[in-house]
Structure 1
């Protein structure tokens, strides 16, 4: 194994299992087990092949109105695996996937795993510099990329040591409809920039060649590496979280244990998969969990196209949904959302960033369903905590640790703090990564001597075991010695009816050390700075009230819609330095 550190001990290996040590256990729904059987956690390959065998005729994936079954997905994944093996892929070799949510993604994802490879998920919106760094750091031999982003690959290629580049189109695996989808992408939307990759091979050719011979079975174990999931983590340096098959498979079983009592007996679950599958939340909660239960993923290729997204939802029968705060906010305020049938929805889960109370309230008004907030990180495969799925309204917490998960809140010196006190949230469980890829120094920074992962998030454990995230440690603003947590200020600002979105940062100040500054996207253009500041004064103590409020048209966000406070702060500081 090429990970840089042994995997931490799993939860419960040496700790007391009493409810006093784990107050959340008393709050578990009656049907949810307190632990999963870690000895029976297998590989993601076994999970996928079992789904293909057990649910051959069920829909596995839907894209642009076309569905493919588990049997068809199994054949396509086997063809990808066969082709990779024919190209010389060896067990443990890294294969990069640079795709949005198109039909070919799941086939490529499982094909790489069946071939014995390790998946390196790549954000398609990366710049050539970012792409070069990640592919060189991971040592990827192959790259599957959507043709829309091939120009970026062309620019990076001279600095890379790739064996082959495979060009994927949005219409691959869509049958006759695929030609129309590609035509629109290339010539109507003009989404494909000119590029030259003469040695690249088309995915269609890969699928055809690979289908001629069945892939060779590869002995993959739970301790083999399934993913290098790149993240800035708690230090901001891009690095690959080494996720073993057993890390992700265990998290799937943990999520299933938490959710299964609420799924019902139906066999036709459809999960709205709007977060990109290269994001760890969608990867586990959508791709892997749906595979485990034989559900269907409704892939949304471009969730930023909110009108198109709403039209897709209007035509679909959906039972499950995953997203994050900004996505739910945009959908809840989108024209036409009232025409979507939410009557069969079992739950809508949110992660990736803090869910705001105002957004959750609006979502329930529109859909009749509360947002069930969870919490996780790339380093934890990702889910650590989740709210009960039977909540009636938004709780403002991230819920309870999942089965076989331990959490603690610690002071700067590493000592464990009692319930109610703020400190750094630390996690232990089978879903915790094996370490950062070839970075023992970075791994050491986030693992405690007794084997707990330090999340970098400030949290409080409530008396009943619920966990409440206060903020990111690095985002905290220090005003004259008082701690100000941006999440709290943002939550207040977005409750004003004239506000759509807000981001709060701290900027240097010669008198107070730092001041609170808010950047706001208005819903009502008539809203003034004075009116909003007065609203903040009515809801926040003096030192938390933003000293400056600036209205903007947009806020900087990641590709999945998470507001980038760090990028906003850098942008502001650079403009002041000019």
Structure 2
């Protein structure tokens, strides 16, 4: 029977001295990681934790996260991985909602985990450097059913309280296998990322993929563009994974560093749509093509991906990955022909089991045939490659016309004085919604609102042009670096809407 530790167990037996985790000091071999995970599982066993018990884990992307996570999996537990920046109130909610029996927090975090655990009456452990515990290891990972819940990852909660997506043993093992297949992963690969492992992107399609292929994983926490480039050089990375804001940050920092990318085999972007201008300039400057993929928490980070051998297309996330199906449907549920925008649906091995204790919410997005309703708008081209147009909820309807924020943002990113941009809709008495641009200027730029509007007028229809422009020092971002439009303060924008 399967267990998420199986890939590590397999490599620990076949090639025990091969490096699983690279660090700035002593690396972790597969044998060492396997032993540490079983010992951590032994400590959990001694504490009375058993199969199906939920354990909250709050830790940055470090080897110790991997040990604790795999220890939870080895004993048959359910890892409830949460953002390290969570407040006491947020962690209290996750502990209560999941019914967690134990909370584990990294020693370097603030008091939120311990405070929340005390409020709920749950014991708390501190995760220390090296994650070595004084416990006898369990003899081997607990066998589980493929549809047993292995992890609960809470969605962002843009509507109501966050919902816990239940990812199964089968979901996560399949995610690792599929991601390894589409990346052509081998034991020779050296994967590196600055993504948080508590998020589905880093956890499923990076960590699980690296261990499935038998290569090494290098982790950076917290992400900085300087740190990521140093990691690239230090560990001779062959695969690098990030989100658009990470690639953009490296692009604007790196200077003349073409040689740094010469040994990189694949650069993968996900988590949000990658502006085409960033992809084009990155490839021109560094000789490195960034391949986009697409997935959600509820699909264990997978859905579509550009073909490694073909090289992909800028602006597209490729075709459906192996073992998954992707459809674009109109409002009546009928599949759309190529070139027609509709809602994206996904079915296959990585689609979640459902939301924890939320049958109504599960039924709203999962039908009886196993199709998951993503809430994203997309379209296929003639090659059946998918382009993500926008989030359905981010669609702006101005005077009866649909405005897709991503299309406008793509134009803004082409301006040499714009570092980052977000397009949002704000209420308007006349048009229903007005198009607003929130812009971060390049350092030293004196770009004006009028110049932004004029730039867009050269490329966009009149109804798509931002009539409201606001400059900010930075845009709000989530744990992965994804721009959070819901956190942009629209109050003054509404006041200035004409």
TM-score bracket, shorter-length normalisation: over 0.9
Look up the match of 2:190.
270
Q: How does 1:118-157 map to 2 (within 5 A)?
A: 118-157=78-117
**Structure 2 residue corresponding to 1:168, chosen from 127, 149, 152:** 127
1:485-510 C-alpha deviation (Å, 9 max, x unpaired): 11111111011011100011000111
The 3-state SS of whatever aligns with 1:208 is coil
Q: How does 1:337-348 map to 2 (within 5 A)?
A: 338=257, 341-348=260-267
Deviation string, structure 1 residues 333-390 (Cα, Å, up to 9, x no partner): 1146717622211100111000011111222133311110000001001210000113
Q: Any unmatched runs of 5+ in structure 1?
A: 1-40, 174-202
Stretch deviating more after TM superposition (402-411 or 377-386)? 402-411
- Distance across 1 between alignment mates of 2:67 and 2:386: 37
TM-score under structure 2 length normalisation:
0.94
Structure 1 vs Structure 2 CA RMSD: 2.2
Runs of 5+ unmatched residues, structure 2: none
Q: Which residue of 2 aligns with 1:159?
A: 119
* Structure 1 Cα separation of the partners of residues 209 and 335 of structure 2: 33
| Cross-structure match for 2:60 | 100
**Greater relative contact order, per chain length (Cα 8 Å cut-off, separation 6+):** 1
How far the C-alpha of 1:327 sits from its partner, in A, is 0.3
For the pair 1:225 / 2:149, whether they are aligned, the reply is yes
**Number of residues of Structure 1 aligned to a counterpart in Structure 2:** 496
Q: Distance in 2 between matches of 1:544 and 1:520?
A: 16
Q: Does 1:410 align with 2:329?
A: yes
Give deviations 1:130-168, integer Å, cap 9, x for gaps.
1111111111112221123241124323322313x2222
Matching residue of 2:4: 44
The one of 522, 544, 550 equivalent to 2:441 is 522
Instruction: Establish whether residue 246 from structure 1 lines up as the match of residue 175 from structure 2.
Output: no
Note the C-alpha offset of 1:42: 4.4
Change (3 A) 1:319 1:299: same
Q: CA offsets, 1:21-66, max 9 Å, x none?
A: xxxxxxxxxxxxxxxxxxxx94423223112212311111122343
Equivalent positions of 1:325-344 (< 5 A) are: 325-335=244-254, 338=257, 341-344=260-263
Structure-1 residue corresponding to 2:75: 115
Distance change in 2, residues 1:217/1:538 (3 Å)? closer
Report the Cα distance in structure 2 between the residues aligned to 1:217 and 1:110, rounded to whole angstroms: 10
Contact 1:319 1:347 in 2 (8 A): yes
Contact 1:331 1:337 in 2 (8 A): no
CA pair 418-448 structure 1, distance change in 2 beyond 3 A? farther
Structure 1 contact 115–215 (Cα < 8 Å) conserved:
no
Alignment of 1:371-382 (within 5 A): 371-382=290-301
Correspondence list, 1:474-493, <5 A: 474-493=393-412
SS in 1 for 2:147: coil
2:43 corresponds in structure 1 to: 83
Aligned position for 1:358:
277
Q: How does 1:251-330 map to 2 (within 5 A)?
A: 251-260=175-184, 263=185, 267-303=187-223, 305-330=224-249
Q: Distance in 1 between matches of 2:330 and 2:307?
A: 28
SS at the partner of 2:378?
strand
Distance 1:97 1:575 in 2: 42
2 CA distance for matches of 1:237 and 1:445? 16
**Range 251-260 or range 279-288, more displaced:** 251-260
Q: Which residue of 2 aligns with 1:443?
A: 362
Counterpart CA distance in 1 for 2:380 and 2:140 is 49
1:357–1:394 Cα contact (<8 Å) kept? no
Secondary structure of the 1:242 match is strand
Which deviates the most, 56-65 or 73-82?
56-65
Q: CA deviation at 1:213?
A: 4.3
CA distance in 2, matches of 1:142, 1:358: 46
1:185-200 equivalence runs, <5 A = none
* Cα shift at 1:395: 2.0
1:389 to 1:298, Cα distance in 2 relative to 1, 3 A: same
In 2, the alpha carbon distance for the partners of 1:102 and 1:74 equals 16
For 2:41 and 2:381, the matched residues in 1 are separated by: 47
Alignment partners' CA distance in 2, 1:213 and 1:425? 45
TM-score normalised by the chain length of structure 1: 0.82
**8 Å contact from structure 2 (residues 210, 216) kept in 1:** yes
